[in-house]
Amino acid sequence: MKNIAWYALFTFPLLFIFTTVVIIPFVIGIAYSFIEWDGIPANPKVFVGFENYVALFSDQRFLASAGITVLFTLLSLIAVNVLGLLFSLMVTSGLKTSNSARTMLFMPNLIGGLILGYIWQFIFTDAFKMIGETTGWSGFFFNWLLDPQYALIALVVVFTWQMAGYTMVIYIAGIQGIPDDVLEAAWVDGANAWQRLTRIKFPLLMPSFTICLFLSLSGAFKIYDVNLSLTNGGPVNKTEMFAMNIFNEIFGYGHYGLGQAKAIVFFLIVALITLTQVILTKRREVQM
């Protein structure tokens, strides 16, 4: 009995905060998705049932956002994990500069997304333009943020720059958890570096893969701060991701009900995809 009291005391503050900040707004949000309202308390809330959900499937801008977000997620998923893995292998291979390299590769993650976006915005617009004009390589160095495709690539670059260090740290922990005798035994048996990498390190890194894939998948799907500061959805709303589309629907147009319905759909999609991914990769984890 006494133990339960202690458990409750430990968990109560966190549970309280979680309920008020996450659970209650979520439930209220579900209720809001069935009404039509413009956000001013003095104006009426009109119950419209599932009309919002039907409307959002014919909203061209929303569907375009969904497509762009999926594309962005795929690209950044690959970029973040490949680079993170490469960095972690490099840093654990015993080079003299390992420690400082690890610190510097992780530092971009410490800078807030908003500031990161503004810095890179300057680089992609003014700095690139200047380099293009002085060196004449204007096929590559032009204002990336004015072209829809290049703006998307710019977003991938900034997101990768921010997240690669984070995944690197997780992979490092995973690599360092691999017992040396297994690797040594493999080396004695004649396995070359590539075989050691793919046959031994990767399967034993599966838990790290699970975590990193999950983090980068959900992070990329939900991206907003970098999106806002780098491109603000431009040019011509061509890099407007899911979260930004919902935000603009609610606060730009004042369609609270429709925006909330979009948010619920967004939640379902992200939950579905990430849960699927976790289940799939967890199955492939090898227990030592």
Partner 1 sequence: MVKGKKLLVLLAVVAIIALVAACSGGNKGTANEGKLAKISIFQSKVEIAEQLEALAQQYTKETGNEVEVWGSVGDAYITQLQAKLTANQGPSIFSIGYGSEAETFKSYYYDLSNEPYVKDIAPNMALEIDGKVVGVPYGVEGFGLVYNKNLVNPADVRDLDSFTALLKSFKDQGKNGFSLSQEAYFLIGHILNTPFALQPDPQDFIEQLNSGKVKMAETKEFQEFARFLEAIREYAVNPMEITYDKQMGDFATGKTAIVHQGNWSYGMLADFGDLDFEYGMMPFPLMGNDKIAVGQASNWVINGKAKPEEIEAARAFLNWLFTSETGKNAIVNEFKFVPAMTTIKAENLDPLSQAVYDATQSGDTIPWAMNFFPQGIIVNDLAPAAQEFFLNPGMTGEQFLKKLDEVWANAVK
Under the rule (CB under 8 A), what is the footprint of partner 1?
A: 6, 9-10, 12-13, 16-17, 38-43, 129, 143, 146, 234-237, 248, 251-254
Closest to partner 1 by CB, 16 vs 137, is: 16
Closest to partner 1 by CB, 42 vs 193, is: 42
Q: How many of the other CB atoms lie within 10 Å of CB of 142?
A: 18
- Cα distances (Å, whole numbers) of residue 120 to 117, 128, 156, 161, 191: 5, 10, 12, 10, 44
Nearest-approach distance from CB 63 to partner 1, in angstroms: 15
Closest to partner 1 by CB, 236 vs 288, is: 236
Nearest-approach distance from CB 241 to partner 1, in angstroms: 15
Q: Residue 52's closest CA among 250, 268, 251?
A: 250
Closest to partner 1 by CB, 26 vs 253, is: 253
Distance spanning both ends of the chain, measured CA to CA = 38
Nearest-approach distance from CB 159 to partner 1, in angstroms: 22
Closest to partner 1 by CB, 121 vs 167, is: 121
Q: Residue 214's closest CA among 172, 156, 168, 271?
A: 271
- Quick check: 240 and 65 in contact, CB under 8 A? yes
Closest to partner 1 by CB, 256 vs 266, is: 256
Helix (H, G, I), strand (E, B) or coil at 35: strand
Long-range pairs of 276-284 with CB within 8 A, sequence gap ≥ 24 = 277/213, 277/214, 277/217, 278/210, 278/214, 281/206, 281/209, 281/210, 281/213, 282/210, 284/203, 284/206
What are the start-end ranges of the E strands in 101-244? none
Nearest-approach distance from CB 210 to partner 1, in angstroms: 31
Nearest-approach distance from CB 96 to partner 1, in angstroms: 42
Closest to partner 1 by CB, 58 vs 192, is: 58
Closest to partner 1 by CB, 98 vs 125, is: 125
Q: Residue 212's closest CA among 267, 174, 269?
A: 174
Nearest-approach distance from CB 273 to partner 1, in angstroms: 29
Nearest-approach distance from CB 157 to partner 1, in angstroms: 21
CA–CA dist 35, 185 (Å, integer): 65
Copy the structure tokens of residue 111: 């800078």
CA–CA dist 74, 216 (Å, integer): 10
Burial class of residue 211 in the structure, from the number of CB atoms within 10 Å of its CB (0-12 exposed, 13-18 middle, 19+ buried)? middle
Nearest-approach distance from CB 146 to partner 1, in angstroms: 6
